[in-house]
Amino acid sequence: MATKKSAPGQLGRQVALPSSPEAAVLERVPNPHPDTVYVARFTAPEFTSLCPVTDQPDFAHLVIDYVPDGWLVESKSLKLYLAAFRNHGAFHEDCTVSIGKRIAALVEPRFLRIGGYWYPRGGIPIDVFWQTGTLPDGAWLPDTGVAPYRGRG
């Protein structure tokens, strides 16, 4: 598993899709405003993984919010990392929490939260939430904008 690189090696180059999340190179870049408290948000409305038991596809809308300190997540590497889950078998909880922990280990943010809003399969939606750190005073953290699943009733 690739970890803390300070200069992005994938940006501006054609890069093959990683074979697995573990093989994906997640990169970081210096935060140009480390003295400022702000929230950065990544939204992945078409996240896909596989059920580890049935190999059926699972779909989620991920929302990742973090308050950076010295580092930012490089967005192309994040896109490739998330796409690497497409053929990866793991439960919803494992995917969501693993993504949050890997990003947190890479950029060491002041605060990070991830919401995994998983689409129902078998009639049950599973939403998974994980966070690390405490939201700093003065940070504006908007609602995720993802409505809870309501079905047709």
Q: Do the domain assignments include residue 18?
A: no
Q: What is the DSSP letter of 136?
A: P
Q: Are 53 and 16 in contact (CB under 8 A)?
A: no
Identify whether 58 is a catalytic site residue: yes
pLDDT score of 10 more than 90: no
User: pLDDT tens for residues 62-98?
Assistant: 999 999 999 999 999 999 999 999 999 999 999 999 9
CB 70 within 8 A of CB 34: yes
- Catalytic residue, from 35, 58, 94, 127: name it: 58
What's 74's domain CATH number?
Answer: 3.30.1130.10
Q: Are residues 17 and 83 in contact, defined by beta-carbon separation less than 8 angstroms?
A: yes
Among residues 51, 69, 94, 127, the one annotated as catalytic is: 51
Whether residue 89 is contained in a domain is answered as: yes
Binned at pLDDT 50, 70 and 90, residue 8 comes out as confident
Does any domain span residue 60?
yes
44 found inside a domain: yes
**What's the rounded Cα separation, in Å, for the pair 19 and 90?**
15
Q: Give a yes or no: residue 115 inside a domain.
A: yes
Confidence of residue 153 (pLDDT cuts 50, 70, 90): low
User: pLDDT band at residue 104, thresholds of 50, 70 and 90?
Assistant: very high
Q: Is the pLDDT of residue 129 over 70?
A: yes
Token code pair at residue 23: 């093989």
Is 104 among the domain residues?
yes
95 is an active site residue: no
Q: Is residue 152 part of a domain?
A: no
Domain with 101 in it: 28-133
Which of 113, 142, 140 has the alpha carbon at shortest distance from 127? 113
Q: Residue 99 domain-assigned?
A: yes
Nearest to 41 by CA among 67, 21, 59: 67
Number of domains present in the structure of the chain: 1
pTM equals: 0.91
